Amino acid sequence: TQTEHGGAVTEEGIAVPISGVRSDYYDFAVTVGEASEEIFAPNEAKIISRGWVFHSSGTLKIIGIGYFKDMGRISEQNSLSFRVKRGRYRLEILGGYRGTNFSGAPTPLGNTSILSDTPVFHLRLTPSAEPKFSGDLETSFYF
């Protein structure tokens, strides 16, 4: 996003920068739809960043997270891919530590949660014919 080309790629939804992330292991959840599954209980997400656009060619690929100290180690084998229908989406990025039970499923509200020590990113996609970009390029996703 430091160049005009990088800014255009971001605004078009070809790539979404998730910066200010500490080098660590992360769990990812990708949901699609108006009534997307909630990954975090109310007030559990430490970061919520709205206004992003994603243009899917059929796959959402996550690369680089956890490898910022050695970008040369990024490869097809250490990236994640999610199948997402072709089209345009509004994208919200949520991050935090999700309360889980021992099976890894979200803890039902009202139960005592056992907090996961692995940070989680929830990428929530909502189909939109003409999503408008308003993402904050200065957002730090450190939590």
The dihedrals phi and psi of 130, each to the nearest 5 degrees, come to -135, 70
DSSP secondary structure string for all residues of 46-102 = EEEEEEEEEEESSEEEE-STT-TT-GGG--GGG-EEEE--SEEEEEEEEEE--EE-T
Q: Which of 116, 20, 2, 3 is nearest to 64 (CA)?
A: 20
The dihedrals phi and psi of 67, each to the nearest 5 degrees, come to -120, 20
pLDDT at position 141, please?
Answer: 86
pLDDT at position 108, please?
Answer: 46
pLDDT at position 2, please?
Answer: 62
pLDDT at position 41, please?
Answer: 76
Q: Are 93 and 143 in contact (CB under 8 A)?
A: no
pLDDT, mean of each 10-residue run, the chain (143 residues): 71 82 82 75 85 93 64 68 93 81 42 60 92 89 83
Q: Which of 32, 92, 95 is nearest to 59 (CA)?
A: 32
CA distance 40 to 43: 8
pLDDT at position 70, please?
Answer: 57
